[in-house]
């Protein structure tokens, strides 16, 4: 086992990881205390699905979850050199990872007993399909991601589609998906850690590098991000609240500046209406955004970064929008937003971020967005 794991540099990294989750927990705790029981991230994200695709029922995610692992096995069978040297090392690492993932998922599922969105069973949290998909994607990334970032991208894309499909199929809440993804990635990190100790390999993971607070002026990344969060109406002119799901592409134009494009779907409701009641009674409406702008980034350490963004654009609301919302936001509306992110790199091409921004939808709706995001960059 690599004796450098517990040195000062890596302890700094653990402190950074702890700081990241403390800030994230603080953001959500403050929001809950400010707005009260009407916050329900899950129901607001669920409303997006109920408004647009209420009858979506497909089972491709039962098979898609395994596709990254299948690709890894095929590549190894074809003689493509991976991170592990032998089949024994590969299968041992995968067995440790799968065992940790399965034990964690099932232990939580049957302890928490959370009711599924379709009310079929009480084993919703966390999503086993998503945990499996992200476990398989991380295995593929560890074995072959060093050959090309597109291999990792394909694996994590399949995992992300699997997670989104579980929401679209009405089988999981979006927090089930986030929990499953974290467990899947974490299980592989721990599984490979144990495996490397057994096979006495060094350089256990590219993630365990010293935390160096330097400024790399050569950093220019393309990135593709997903963003899930909640808009809180603020002030007397912030009548609409609800969930957001978005994708964002960033194209570098300078080592510290990227041009950015975002496409998003919002499920909004009157902020004084309970989210569950609003979604069940059809008192929500979907709003579709398209925005462009700039992102300014500063990676103040090799695994930590902050960003600031400003974007302009517009959108349109669903034709079935309740009349009360039509009086607040035009059918085709202009939009402005600005905010920032605090992010953590979890691998060569993968990072997570906590995001907050102010949003103005014309003619008049002010809101604050708090969101969780994942990014694949290369």
CATH of the domain at 312: 2.40.160.20
* Mean pLDDT value of segment 178-197: 88
Say if residue 301 is in the same domain as residue 184. Answer: no
pLDDT tens, residue by residue, 234-263: 887 778 888 899 999 999 998 889 999 999
Rounded Cα gap, residues 224 and 149, in angstroms: 12
Say if residue 43 is in the same domain as residue 181. Answer: yes
Whole-number pLDDT of residue 201: 65
pLDDT tens, residue by residue, 88-112: 999 999 999 999 999 999 999 999 8
Using the predicted structure, report yes or no on whether residue 219 has a pLDDT greater than 60: no
DSSP per-residue letters across 259-291: EEEEEEEEEEEETTS-HHHHHHTT--EEEEEEE
Whole-number pLDDT of residue 217: 47
The confidence band for 330, taking pLDDT boundaries of 50, 70 and 90, is confident
Say if residue 265 is in the same domain as residue 332. Answer: yes
Query: Per the domain annotation, does 32 fall within a domain?
Result: no
Strands, E, within the chain: which ranges? 223-233, 240-254, 257-270, 285-298, 304-317, 332-345, 350-361, 365-377
Query: Per the domain annotation, does 212 fall within a domain?
Result: no
Sign (positive/negative) of CA torsion 217, 221, 225, 231?
A: positive
The alpha carbon of 73 is separated from its chain's Cα centroid by a whole number of angstroms, namely 26
Say if residue 110 is in the same domain as residue 194. Answer: yes
Query: Per the domain annotation, does 26 fall within a domain?
Result: no
Using the predicted structure, report yes or no on whether residue 7 has a pLDDT greater than 60: no
The domain in which residue 76 lies consists of 39-198
Share of the chain above pLDDT 70, in %: 81
Query: Per the domain annotation, does 207 fall within a domain?
Result: no
- Show Cβ contacts of residue 30 under 8 Å, excluding neighbours closer than 6 positions: none
41-45, 290-294, 359-363: lowest mean pLDDT where? 41-45
Question: Residue 43 in contact with residue 155, Cβ under 8 Å?
Answer: no
Q: Count how many domains the chain has.
A: 2
């Amino acid at each position: 086992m690599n004796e450098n794991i517990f040195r000062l540099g890596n302890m700094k990294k653990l402190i950074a990881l702890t700081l990241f989750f403390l800030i994230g927990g603080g953001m959500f705790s403050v929001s809950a205390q400010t707005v009260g029981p009407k916050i329900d991230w899950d129901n607001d994200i669920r409303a997006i699905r109920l408004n647009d695709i209420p009858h979506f029922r497909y089972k491709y995610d039962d098979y898609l979850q395994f596709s990254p692992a299948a690709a890894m096995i095929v590549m190894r069978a074809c003689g493509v050199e991976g991170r592990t040297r032998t089949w024994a090392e590969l299968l041992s690492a995968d067995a440790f990872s799968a065992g940790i993932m399965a034990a964690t998922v099932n232990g939580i599922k049957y302890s928490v007993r959370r009711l599924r969105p379709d009310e079929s069973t009480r084993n919703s949290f966390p999503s086993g399909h998503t945990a499996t998909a992200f476990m398989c994607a991380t295995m593929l990334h560890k074995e072959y991601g060093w050959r090309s970032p597109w291999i990792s991208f394909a694996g994590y894309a399949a995992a992300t589609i699997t997670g989104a499909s579980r929401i679209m199929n009405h089988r999981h809440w979006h927090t089930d998906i986030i929990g499953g993804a974290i467990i899947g990635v974490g299980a592989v990190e721990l599984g490979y850690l144990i495996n490397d100790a057994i096979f006495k390999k060094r350089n256990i993971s590219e993630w365990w590098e010293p935390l160096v607070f330097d400024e790399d002026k050569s950093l220019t990344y393309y990135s593709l991000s997903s963003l899930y969060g909640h808009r809180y109406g603020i002030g007397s002119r912030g009548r609409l609240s609800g969930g957001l799901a978005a994708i964002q592409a960033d194209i570098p134009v300078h080592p510290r500046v990227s041009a950015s494009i975002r496409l998003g779907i919002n499920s909004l409701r009157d902020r004084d209406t309970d989210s569950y009641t609003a979604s069940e009674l059809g008192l929500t409406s979907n709003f579709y955004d398209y925005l462009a702008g700039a992102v300014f980034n500063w990676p103040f350490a090799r695994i930590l970064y902050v960003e600031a963004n400003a974007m302009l654009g517009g959108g349109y609301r669903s034709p079935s929008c309740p009349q009360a919302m039509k009086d607040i936001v035009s059918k085709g509306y202009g939009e402005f937003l600005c905010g920032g992110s605090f992010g953590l790199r979890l691998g060569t091409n993968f990072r997570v971020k906590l995001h907050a921004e102010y949003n103005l939808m014309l003619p008049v709706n002010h809101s604050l967005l708090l969101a969780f995001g994942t990014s694949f960059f290369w």
